[in-house]
Amino acid sequence: MQTIRFWTPCEGHVDRRRKWQFPSIIMTMGLLAAPSYALAAVKCPSVGKPVVSLELGSRYESNDKSRSDIDENADAAVDKALKPIDVYVRSLANLSDQSPKASTRDETNRCLYRALSSWADAGALSDLGTLNAKLAISPRVAGMAISYHDAKAVTPPDDEQKKAIETWLQSLGVKLMTFFDEDAPKMASRNNLRAWAGLAVGQIGVATDNDQLSSWGAKTNEMVICSADDDGGLPLEMKRGDKALHYQLHAVGPLVVNAALLNAKFNDSFSVCQGKLDRIVDFTLSALQKPELAAAKAGTEQTFSTGKEKLEPFQIAWLEPYLKFRQSEKATRLAERYRPLSNSNLGGNLTSQYSAKSKK
């Protein structure tokens, strides 16, 4: 079943061509107010109605124990249900992608805070009605937290927005932490899904100065990193049939970005388990060149070999933060081939962000 419920005191939507449309009026404290984009020189885009309730079925064939055989109809239904949230996260990333020195950065950050506070005030994502909804939400929450933290570092929100946004983000972080510690299926509690939860919770902790959440994110990263074999393969991802390399790649993103963003607070984030993260990255990059390396562990030919899958830039956006902390000819060559590298769940255009950081 795929069900979403929206909060609707404020209309405005995104059309099928993903062009921003703007609301004619906004309800604020029960009063009619001028359009939000009239408050600043920058026109704030509508980010859609907050999604309060979400129910998702599985993407996979019901008899597939490896959870690698996609049911095309179910997959499309899940994508459709998640689309309003994905559009929202992309809009936040687009706003936070502005250069810190851009003349409009303060105003775009204020747009971002309006977008976040509108979903916070609605209690967005507070009702996740199915197991699959709880498993799917971590990457989106991670993107929200990273965008907020990036904006906050340049232009602080006002006190009312700060309280609303951070209370909401922390509530999501606590729910994710509790779910993955207590209720998530055994495999999900330790595989790429746990890595994404670690990124989401860890970055909420960093963005809101919550040590409990940031520490949980760091410990989760360490747990998943330490699970890798001596070659750098992640055993739970290598059980995923012909998508083993796909899911290894899906896990590396949050592991690397979390290590990079937590490094200022936990300065050993890249060295846990005798530097196994470097082995994970090296194995992943080597397997992208020679998928048979993953096939040997998975026991079957990989989608990158059979033509079912083609590497996309968003899948390797994590190379930019990795290269900020590590030197790797393999990583450099791959990044140069696919740039610009962007992934809204990892914070947006990481090529431009890390290029700007390297110039500071």
* Domain boundary assignment for the chain: 1-181, 227-360
Contact of 233 with 175, CB cutoff 8 Å: no
Report the chain's mean pLDDT, rounded to a whole number: 87
pLDDT digits (tens, 9 = 90+) for 109-128: 999 999 999 999 999 999 99
pLDDT digits (tens, 9 = 90+) for 150-204: 999 999 999 999 999 999 999 999 999 999 999 999 999 999 999 999 999 999 9
Assigned CATH for 227-360: 1.50.10.100
Contact of 33 with 24, CB cutoff 8 Å: no
Domains 1-181 and 227-360 in one fold: yes
The backbone torsions φ and ψ at residue 40, rounded to the nearest 5 degrees and listed phi first, read: -150, 160
Cβ–Cβ contacts within 10 Å for residue 346, how many? 28
**Beta-carbon-side half-sphere exposure of residue 227 (alpha carbons within 13 Å):** 22
pLDDT digits (tens, 9 = 90+) for 43-53: 898 888 999 99
Contact of 256 with 335, CB cutoff 8 Å: no
Contact of 240 with 234, CB cutoff 8 Å: no
Report the pLDDT averaged over residues 76-94. 95
Burial of 359 (0-12, 13-18, 19+ CB in 10 A): exposed
* DSSP assignment of 91-146: HHHHHHTS-TT-TTHHHHHHHHHHHHHHHHHHTTT-EE-SHHHHHHSHHHHHHHHH
Alpha helices in the chain (DSSP H): 72-96, 105-122, 131-136, 138-152, 159-178, 192-208, 211-226, 244-262, 272-289, 292-298, 303-306, 319-325, 329-338, 350-358
Instruction: Say if residue 354's pLDDT is above 80.
Output: yes
**145/169 Cα distance (integer angstroms):** 7
Q: Helix, strand, or coil here: 206?
A: helix
Contact of 118 with 50, CB cutoff 8 Å: yes
- Give the full edge-to-edge strand order of the sheet including 51-55: 3-6, 51-55, 127-128
**CA distances, 281 to each of 116, 250, 270, 275 (Å):** 33, 12, 11, 11
pLDDT digits (tens, 9 = 90+) for 276-330: 999 999 999 999 999 999 999 999 999 999 999 999 999 999 999 999 999 999 9
Structure tokens at 148: 């907020």
Structure tokens at 9: 């005191």
The second-level CATH assignment, the architecture, of 1-181 is Alpha/alpha barrel (1.50)
Cβ–Cβ contacts within 10 Å for residue 154, how many? 16
Instruction: Say if residue 101's pLDDT is above 50.
Output: yes
